[in-house]
Amino acid sequence: MRERNHSAPPPRRIQRASRRRVNLAALTLLLAAPILLAGCGGDHSILNPAGPAARDIRLIWFVMLGFGTVVFVVVIALWLYTFKKRYVTRTPAQERRIGRRWIIGGGIILPTLTVIALLMFGVPTGKRMLTLPLDEPPEVIEVIGHQWWWEVRYPGAEGGEVVTANQLMMPAGEPVDFHVTAADVIHGFWIPRLGGKIDMLPGRINRIRLEADEPGVFGAQCAELCGVGHAHMKLHVEALPRAEFDAWLAARSDEALAELAAQNAAFDTARDNFTRFCSGCHQVAGISASNIGPNLSDVGGREALGAGVMAMEEGAVYQWLRNHQTLKPSNLMPRHDDLDNETLRDLGAWLETLTP
């Protein structure tokens, strides 16, 4: 076998070429950095926390990253060291002893210590997100995932349970317990700036405690692939000062919403048409009680339609009614090709007046 000489330096030309490659790689990384780092901020970033649970998660993330970096550097250093090392001849017994040392030390003791250290840090941190009893029971909000929209219920509201859809209002500055489940397939509840993700499973209620430090709007998006509409399943999350939150709930009591739905005689035809064509799937307080589709009792006051596919503005409901299969392909609301534009415009105009 031919002996290869490891110690002779490579020819100059190759040295220069490889230095150029390294420079090019460094330059590419530098130029790509803003794009890569852009993911660290914004509405859906765990590195931009807005509550205690999310801060804990960021801390765990940084500790894991630091730990991983140390392990990476040590492994690379050992690897480089093997190139430098002069070869010595050992007896098979010596080889076995050294090999055993690596397996026991590096393969058993080191990982065990590492995992214990990370668990000692991670378990108490994670515990703070559990819905353990508090002196003052927190607000409970139930969130139910549907293909491809969100049902949100407030069982503790003073004027009786409040039900809405595709928007989640919560009080700021206090813990809130979320009880989440799904009506059909698995969905994922995740408000990255407030805390961890939790699965929404049919037939099971999962609980998570989250808190928003300050009033504000937070992005959320279904975090578990749930079918063709999955990417179109956004949730508008907004934390309000306690008093505003209470007022928001009060405006959505059954009586208040039923009164809103009944007003303005000009919309009598729209109400009739709603009862004929829509009430089998949708609830409007005082008219119908189905929840196959989103509750529409307060639809005029929402930020968006179709779980975030279009902004709520004048004429938006009509646009939804006419074009929803284009705006949100394969969503589970049937087309209403049998209804003429006039009928749908009238229905849309009435629904837009439902702004508590």
Tell whether residue 178 is a contact of ligand HEC (CB under 6 A): no
How far apart are alpha carbons 305 and 196 in whole angstroms? Answer: 26
How far apart are alpha carbons 109 and 98 in whole angstroms? Answer: 15
* HSE toward the beta carbon, residue 94, CA cutoff 13 A: 4
Burial of 8 (0-12, 13-18, 19+ CB in 10 A): exposed
Tell which one of 180, 226, 299, 307 touches Cu ion (CB under 5 A).
226
How far apart are alpha carbons 102 and 97 in whole angstroms? Answer: 9
- Please state whether the peptide bond connecting residue 148 to the residue before it is cis, i.e. omega within 30 degrees of 0: yes
Tell which one of 60, 281, 327, 349 touches ligand HEC (CB under 6 A).
281
User: What type of residue is 246?
Assistant: D
Contact partner at residue 53 from ligand HEC, Cu ion, none, CB < 5 to 8 Å by partner kind: none
Tell which one of 333, 346, 352, 354 touches ligand HEC (CB under 6 A).
333
**Closest CB to Cu ion among residues 174, 199:** 199
Residue 46 in contact with residue 57, Cβ under 8 Å? yes
Least distance between Cu ion and beta carbon 198 (Å)? 13
Tell whether residue 277 is a contact of ligand HEC (CB under 6 A): yes
Tell whether residue 144 is a contact of Cu ion (CB under 5 A): no
Tell whether residue 73 is a contact of ligand HEC (CB under 6 A): no
Tell whether residue 187 is a contact of Cu ion (CB under 5 A): yes
Residues in 229-268 that interact with ligand HEC by CB under 6 A: 229
Least distance between ligand HEC and beta carbon 318 (Å)? 9
**Closest CB to Cu ion among residues 162, 235:** 235
Nearest to 155 by CA among 177, 182, 131: 177
How far apart are alpha carbons 157 and 59 in whole angstroms? Answer: 35
Residue 262 in contact with residue 314, Cβ under 8 Å? no
For ligand HEC, which stretch binds (CB under 6 A), given 52-60, 190-198, 201-209, 331-339?
Answer: 331-339
Nearest to 216 by CA among 237, 185, 192, 188: 237
**78-to-73, 84, 209, 345 alpha-carbon distances in Å:** 9, 10, 44, 71
Residues in 131-150 that interact with ligand HEC by CB under 6 A: 148-149
**Closest CB to ligand HEC among residues 95, 340:** 340
263 DSSP assignment: -
DSSP codes of every residue in 84-130: HPPP----HHHHHHHHHHIIIIIIIIHHHHHHHHHHHHHHHHHHTTS
Interface pattern 229-258 for Cu ion (x via CB under 5 A): ----x-------------------------
Nearest to 194 by CA among 46, 62, 38: 46
Tell which one of 157, 328, 346, 356 touches ligand HEC (CB under 6 A).
328
Q: What angle (nearest 5°) sits at the alpha carbon of residue 257, between those of residues 254 and 262?
A: 120
Interface pattern 215-234 for ligand HEC (x via CB under 6 A): --------------x-----
Residues in 79-118 that interact with ligand HEC by CB under 6 A: none
**Closest CB to Cu ion among residues 64, 205:** 205
Tell which one of 171, 175, 195, 293 touches ligand HEC (CB under 6 A).
293
Tell whether residue 292 is a contact of ligand HEC (CB under 6 A): yes
**Closest CB to ligand HEC among residues 95, 272:** 272
Least distance between Cu ion and beta carbon 14 (Å)? 54
Least distance between ligand HEC and beta carbon 308 (Å)? 8
Tell whether residue 350 is a contact of ligand HEC (CB under 6 A): no
Residues at the contact surface with ligand HEC, assessed by CB under 6 A = 148-149, 165-166, 229, 277-278, 280-282, 292-294, 296, 299, 302, 305-307, 317, 320-321, 328, 331-334, 336, 347, 351
